[in-house]
Structure 1
Amino acid sequence: MQFRTKIPIPQADFKIDYNSKILSLGSCFAVNMAEKFDYFKFENTCNPVGILFHPLAIEKLIDFAVSGKQFCAEDVFFHNERWHCFDVHSDCSHSNKKELIANLNAIIHSTFQKLQVASHIIITYGTSWVYRNVETNSIVANCHKLPQKQFVKEILSVETIENSMQNTLDLIQKINPKATIIFTVSPVRHLKDGFIENQQSKAHLITAIHTAINQQLSTNNYFPSYEIMMDELRDYRFYAEDMIHPSQVAIDYIWQRFSETFISDESHSIMKEIETIQKGLQHRPFNPNSESHQQFLSKLQDKMMQIQKQFPQIQF
């Protein structure tokens, strides 16, 4: 007897292995998945300008990188004793104006380089809701806790998201036509927008993504993170205490489904070896000077050397 339905996911055509170069962009769920890549020692870069929630913000970052956009003094502003930029997350903000601009330009250049060589680009959309700055009439990536009266909230239409996705794909393919691009929708519920509004937002994203991938890409380029959370894990025990974000158990399960779909069979055996090493490195002995612990460390060092001999880019 089965007590849940399992979402069928087609196997990816171009799978991730330990020679892959991964670039992850998008919502906080992109960070959750990137942490898994980091743990298993894949070559991964995540959110160079911090978390980006909506399609236009991600498109703008990629456009800046491909076009070689240079930030200048007009692109930053001062608030609460720090300098900010509407196009990036608050994690990038700085107390020094010149350093912020220099940092942003360095990040944009680095992102261009990452886009050029990436074998897989994973884009996680979080929401269709956006905020438009009243003064500039432009949609921002982050409001940086400015007064709400400075912004107008609106929802992106399915057509606008489709166009943004198309622009994003065109920009990437312009400099890296061989990259495999994987889209997903974050399972994080944006309940501050409202329960119905959150569902509307996710529906716009899912509809736009499927329209775009049916026209341009294989369905193998979509990973159903949101659908797994809503259907396979339809229980509040799979949420964190805030009842909004997936719990660690849910993240682990979604990662398992992702790895079954997008990571090569050969890499799974290496992942098991790396997990053994990672657990060994986290081990805290009762007696660090004991002979048995020294033998344990020696064996652990041998395992690390074997992995690094095969994949020199891996560092523990």
Structure 2
Amino acid sequence: MGDHPYKHRPDYCFWRPSIAATDFRTVDPVVRGKFKLGKNHKIATAGSCFAQHIARYLQIAGYNYFVVERPHPAFAGWFTDDYNYGTFSARFGNLYTSRQLLQLLERAYQLFCPFEDVWTNESGRFVDPFRPQIQPGGFSSIKELQLDRKQHFSAVRTMVEELDVFVFTLGLTEAWVGRDDGAVLPLCPGVAGGIFDGAKYEYRNFSVSDVTSDLRNAIDFIQDRNPRARFILTVSPVPLVATMEDRSVLVSTAYSKAVLRVAADVVANESDSIAYFPSFEIITGQHAGNTYFEPDLRSIRPDGVAHVMGLFAKHYLDDGENSDEKPDSAIDEQMANHRQRMTDLAKLICEEESLNRQ
């Protein structure tokens, strides 16, 4: 056999030595990180439910998880989790799509004002259509909702202007939007407030070009106001709980994850300040089978989270080398102690779960 370019490629470029002939718990598709995060860096997170694992790990590992929206000191500690403080960097709940992220930024800077800004729930209390489950039971008045939103937007602006790194986990391509203004909602109206009206809302399934454009615009928006900002994009490995397409939810999941994965790759390859981290591949790759999923085939098992976060630490955190191939490290022990809390928290604010049919 003559000489050819493949002969000179490293092992990680070949399936057998790096995947098939490797213990699935040590498979490392990251290879190398684009940059390192120090303990003084302000690291903000947003996105789908899976993003919460990154936030929890950063806190446990002693990194500067950047939380800009906190409860009043008089109430901190007893309702922080229930009211979704600290789940993400600000109290925005799940941002499942890149369009949601972009519109949140625009709304926070008063560059986009949706026509509809308040719903009522079954109890007659008031709900923020763009954060329908961040306030258990809803707000007592429209004024309370508006004041909370004003504070929230101020926190988002602080996050944008002061963060060092923004970790965004893409979760979905399917969404419901307002027909008049294109405002993207995290949940279909009628699920957790509001009334569904086909004349007011339409279903959208975003394409690769949609997601790519929205990601670029959101990143540009942040960097225009914070030139030092860097970004880590991930794709959630959690399947869709339901689809509006007239096909199997399995097919819709494959479409959605493929679109998000391609868009993230395109955008990450455009700049040294944007990285892609393969949490999706670590959990769903053939090497793992279904080992990292709970029996419902959606929830991620703690050992799957540990694999993902171990590689995140190894390749992106300044002292990550210390946790390489050390499953009994102090951090992993702390992670084990916090697993139930992380599971409960993820269930609490994962709005998509409201669509589940038992």
Q: Structure 1 length normalisation: TM-score? A: 0.77
Match of 1:196 in 2: 251
Q: Which runs of 5+ in 1 are unaligned?
A: 283-316
**Deviation (angstroms), 1:74:** 5.0
Aligned equivalents of 1:73 and 1:205: distance in 2?
A: 28
User: Which SS does the other structure have where 2:36 is aligned?
Assistant: coil
Residues 26-35 or 224-233, more deviating: 224-233
- Aligned counterparts of 1:185 and 1:136: Cα–Cα separation in 2: 27
Correspondence 1:1-316 to 2 at 5 A: 2-4=22-24, 6-44=27-65, 45=67, 46-48=88-90, 49-65=92-108, 67-68=109-110, 74-80=116-122, 81-92=124-135, 93-133=138-178, 138-143=183-188, 145=191, 146=194, 150=198, 151-193=201-243, 194-217=249-272, 221-231=275-285, 234-265=288-319, 268=322, 275=331
Return closer, same or farther for 1:72/1:230 CA change in 2, 3 Å cut-off. Answer: closer
Report if the CA contact (8 A) 2:53-2:305 is conserved: yes
Cα gap change, 1:273/1:69 in structure 2, threshold over 3 Å: closer, same or farther? farther
Gap change, CA 1:199 and 1:276, over 3 Å in 2: closer
The alignment covers a number of residue pairs equal to: 278
**Cα 1:267/1:227, change in 2 over 3 Å:** closer
Do 1:236 and 1:243's aligned partners in 2 also have CA atoms closer than 8 Å? yes
**What amino acid is aligned across from residue 264 of structure 1 in structure 2?**
D
Aligned-pair distance for 1:234?
2.7
Is the contact between residue 51 and residue 89 of structure 1 (CA under 8 Å) also seen in structure 2? no
Alignment root-mean-square deviation, CA: 3.1
Q: CA shift at 1:189, angstroms? A: 1.0
Distance in 2 separating the partners of 1:276 and 1:51 = 26
TM (normalized to structure 2)? 0.69
**Per-residue deviation, 1:53:** 0.8
Check whether the contact 1:22–1:121 (CA below 8 A) recurs between aligned residues.
yes
Q: Deviations over 1:80-112 (max 9, x none)?
A: 222122222411442322111111110111111
TM-superposed deviation, 1:61: 1.5
Q: Which amino acid aligns with 2:220?
A: D
How far does the alpha carbon of each residue in 1:246-297 deviate from its partner, in whole angstroms, 9 at most, with x for none?
111111111111111110127958xx99749969x99xxxxxxxxxxxxxxx
Counterpart CA distance in 2 for 1:260 and 1:89 is 36
